[in-house]
Amino acid sequence: MLKVENVHKSFGGILALNGVTFSVEPNSITGLIGPNGSGKSTLFNIISGFYNKDRGEIYFKGKKIEGIEPYRIAMLGVGRTFQISEVPEKMTVLENLLLAPKSQIGEGIFNVFLHPLKIKRENEKLLKDAYEILELVQLYHLRNEYAGNLSGGQKKLLSLGRILMSDPILLLLDEPTAGVNPTLIRDLIIAMKNLRAEKGQTILLVEHNMKVISEICDRVIVLDFGKKIAEGTPEEIQKNEKVLEAYLSGSSKWELLHEDS
């Protein structure tokens, strides 16, 4: 599904990614963890085309993705969320969801005037999908609120709902549950698992919450200082010496992780 080969990226003097190689199996949920600043978001930005890599290759469904604009990568079926929620403030929650589906008929200026009925029907269908997703992320009651008025956690939920609405093949989720209350996280985990089963979607997930990781991930990849230091099942990772060391020296987050688990 996704193959990342020997990817390098530096920002000035900072080597954010230093030869990262891994692959993600179709229909799997893969966790990407690592201390703060280990390069997780940078990797997402490179896969989705927002940053250019210095070296290395990325393959999506066997095809190399090289030097193309982010919107084209999205059109190929790679959906992503942002660590800091990207939420158009002056659009309602519902509008945010309706924006997501790709290549809508009504996005063409001539279609707007030539096919008003088709657009109306398309919109009605999208609305139905949107209501379902809003129930899932528990934002239905806020559907007509400006997205700018949502709390941080609610914006995360909206971003998740929106990416589900766009129906990608591969989802890159950057800390989708940060700031979301634990009971809702549980529901979302179940929903994500169901989605994978139903639609055969593949998920690559950045997450600091070890509980979430061990509950939903088939495999986990650990980054530290831009290098992959471990890979395996959640159980293996939690016992891995290198991983423990990275977290102990790098930051205090590990304690947080264990508190949770």
Partner 1 sequence: MGLVNFLVYLSIMMGIYAILSLSLNLQYGFTGLANFGHVVFFCLGAYISTIIVLVFKMPFILGLLGGMFVAGLFGYIISIPTANLKEDYWAIATLAAAEIVRIFFLNEDWVVGGGPYQGGAFGIGGIPQPLRSLFSAHTYPFFYLAIVLVCLVATYIIINTLTQSPFGRVIKSIREGDNLPQALGKDVKRFRMKVMAIGGSFGGLAGCLWAHYHGFISPNQFLPLETFIIWAMVIVGGKANNKGAILGAVIVMIFYNSTRFLKDYIPIEAVTLASLRMVAIGILIVVAMLFMKEGLIKEKKTLY
CA diameter of the chain: 63
What is the 3-state composition of the chain as percent helix, strand, coil, each rounded to the nearest 5? 45, 25, 30
DSSP code per residue over 175-205: STTTT--HHHHHHHHHHHHHHHHHH--EEEE
Q: Name which of 97 and 172 has its Cβ closer to ligand ATP.
A: 172
Q: Which amino acid is at 140?
A: Y
Smallest separation, CB 254 to ligand ATP (Å): 13
Residues near ligand ATP (CB under 6 A): 11, 14, 16, 34, 36-42, 83
Rounded to the nearest 10 degrees, the angle between the axes of helix 253-260 and helix 241-250 is 120
Residues near Mg ion (CB under 5 A): 40-41, 83
Q: Name which of 8 and 61 has its Cβ closer to partner 1.
A: 61
Q: Which of partner 1, Mg ion, ligand ATP, none sits in contact with 232, Cβ below 5 to 8 A by type?
A: none
For 91, residues 6+ apart whose C-beta sits below 8 A from its C-beta are 99, 146, 147
- Is 135 a binding residue for partner 1 by CB under 8 A? The answer is no
Structure tokens at 91: 């659009």
Span 73-132, contacts to partner 1 by CB under 8 A:
74-75, 79-82, 86-92, 94-95, 98-100, 102-109, 112-113, 119, 122-123, 127
Q: Name which of 36 and 149 has its Cβ closer to ligand ATP.
A: 36
Give me the residues that bind partner 1 (CB under 8 A), please.
Answer: 48, 50, 69-72, 74-75, 79-82, 86-92, 94-95, 98-100, 102-109, 112-113, 119, 122-123, 127, 144, 146, 162, 166
